[in-house]
């Protein structure tokens, strides 16, 4: 598509114009129920674009032309009473009585060269399943549990990838970042659909208007501490583990909330296979450009970058590269978060232990102190 531009009015009288190449065009504006036709890998069939004149009730496709975005404009959110609770909502909907929500949109996040498919899924909960940043939803896929005939499938947990206001900023949606689990027979190399992930494939194949049963919200370990707006937050993710950090960063840098006025440092380390596998890269790059004093972003691309020893670059290699800074930040009270596949932690722990010993410290004692101070946050699966 040729350069498409759009003028958007938000936050009272502030008018912001977006160029088709801007990161907000791809990430922020689509959350305002506006889509752009500039992603060759976007699954527009998921948006129910049945004809040139039929458009999904949830999505509008806009193709126009205007100037560059005004930097640092933030979005007004509502309802503001979502800020009033002193404790996070927990298990409002249990597995035996899940809430039936509605799929708003499903969008492929990765490029064609990414190994596997990862989707951004927006779910309309109508304000009936409120949550805080860092919490998770449970999803019960349709069908029968093969191990328990007559019973529903087990709940699958997914970290929420949006703030409490959702991608529409109205407190009625939640977003999930889901990688489609596909099984390939090691002997034949062919896909075996009978062993594919039931829930991830259900979510990635969903269409706007489809119903989805959700439970929760659950979890407290990954909640974003907001008592000190000047705090340092070090976030380490592999793949879809970036989900809760997207929520943190939107709250810090995109939304104009009434209470949380972040002025500290957020430092994100994201490990993926290659450039095509990067998730929400446009959003994060926008924050980097607009808030260079408050945001740092380091990517570890295992199939494209080399570590200092000539091996593949993983997040633990990036941690080691900046270990002196990281340890000094931790000594000053920084929070450190880990989210992603369970297999990420042994390598990270080994790296942190080696660095601590090189500094003449006991890692076991340091880790114990970090946990005692509630600076250490881990959610792996």
Q: Yes or no: say if 188 and 174 are a contact pair by the CB < 8 Å rule.
A: no
What's the chain's Rg over C-alpha atoms? 21
Q: Is position 159 annotated as part of the catalytic site?
A: yes
Peptide bond preceding 157 in cis form (omega within 30 of 0): no
Q: Is position 339 annotated as part of the catalytic site?
A: yes
Spacing of C-alpha 112 from chain mean position:
20
The first and second tokens of residue 232, run together, are: 């340092």
Pairing of strands 295-301, 265-272: parallel
Q: Is position 256 annotated as part of the catalytic site?
A: no
Q: Distance between CA 201 and CA 141 in Å, rounded?
A: 9
Q: Which of 58, 158, 280, 291 is catalytic?
A: 158
The first and second tokens of residue 238, run together, are: 């592999």
What backbone phi and psi angles, to 5 degrees, belong to 48? Answer: 60, 45
Q: Distance between CA 279 and CA 164 in Å, rounded?
A: 20
Q: Is position 158 annotated as part of the catalytic site?
A: yes
Residue 345's region, left for phi above 0, alpha for psi from -120 to 50, else beta, is alpha
Spacing of C-alpha 161 from chain mean position:
4
Q: Which of 22, 105, 159, 302 is catalytic?
A: 159
| Other Cβ atoms closer than 10 A to 148 | 10
| Other Cβ atoms closer than 10 A to 37 | 14
Q: How many Cα atoms occupy the beta-carbon half-sphere of 134 within 13 Å?
A: 18
Q: Is position 379 annotated as part of the catalytic site?
A: yes
The catalytic site residues sit at: 158-159, 339, 379, 381
């Amino acid at each position: 598509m040729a350069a498409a531009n759009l003028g958007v009015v938000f936050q009272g009288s502030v008018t912001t114009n977006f160029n088709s190449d801007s990161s907000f065009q791809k990430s922020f504006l689509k959350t305002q129920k506006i889509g752009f036709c500039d992603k060759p890998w976007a699954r527009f069939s998921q948006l129910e674009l049945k004809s040139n004149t039929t458009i999904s009730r949830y999505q509008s496709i806009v193709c126009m032309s205007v100037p560059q975005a005004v930097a640092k404009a933030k979005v007004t959110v509502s309802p503001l009473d979502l800020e009033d609770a002193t404790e996070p909502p927990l298990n409002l909907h249990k597995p035996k009585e899940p809430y039936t929500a509605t799929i708003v949109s499903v969008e492929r996040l990765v490029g064609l060269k990414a190994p596997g498919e990862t989707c951004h899924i927006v779910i309309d909960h109508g304000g009936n399943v409120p949550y805080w940043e860092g919490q998770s939803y449970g999803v019960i896929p349709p069908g029968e549990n093969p191990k328990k005939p007559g019973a529903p499938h087990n709940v699958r947990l997914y970290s929420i990838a949006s703030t409490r206001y959702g991608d529409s900023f109205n407190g009625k949606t939640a977003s999930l970042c889901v990688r489609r689990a596909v099984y390939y027979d090691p002997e034949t190399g062919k896909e075996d659909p009978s062993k594919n992930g039931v829930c991830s494939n259900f979510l990635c194949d969903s269409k706007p208007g489809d119903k989805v049963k959700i439970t929760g919200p659950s979890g407290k370990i990954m909640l974003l501490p907001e008592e000190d707006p000047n705090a340092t937050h070090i976030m380490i993710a592999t793949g879809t583990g970036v989900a809760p950090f997207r929520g943190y960063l939107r709250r810090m840098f995109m939304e104009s909330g009434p209470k949380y006025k972040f002025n500290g440092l957020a430092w994100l380390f994201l490990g993926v296979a290659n450039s095509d596998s990067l998730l929400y890269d446009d959003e994060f790059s926008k924050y980097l450009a607009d808030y260079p004093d408050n945001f740092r972003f380091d990517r570890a691309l295992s199939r494209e970058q080399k570590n200092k020893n000539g091996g593949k670059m993983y997040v633990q290699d990036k941690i080691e590269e900046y270990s002196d800074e990281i340890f000094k930040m931790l000594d000053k009270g920084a929070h450190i978060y880990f989210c992603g596949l369970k297999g990420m932690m042994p390598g990270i722990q080994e790296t942190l232990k080696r660095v601590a010993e090189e500094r003449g410290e006991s890692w076991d004692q340091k880790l114990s102190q970090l946990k005692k101070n509630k600076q250490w946050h881990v959610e792996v699966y």
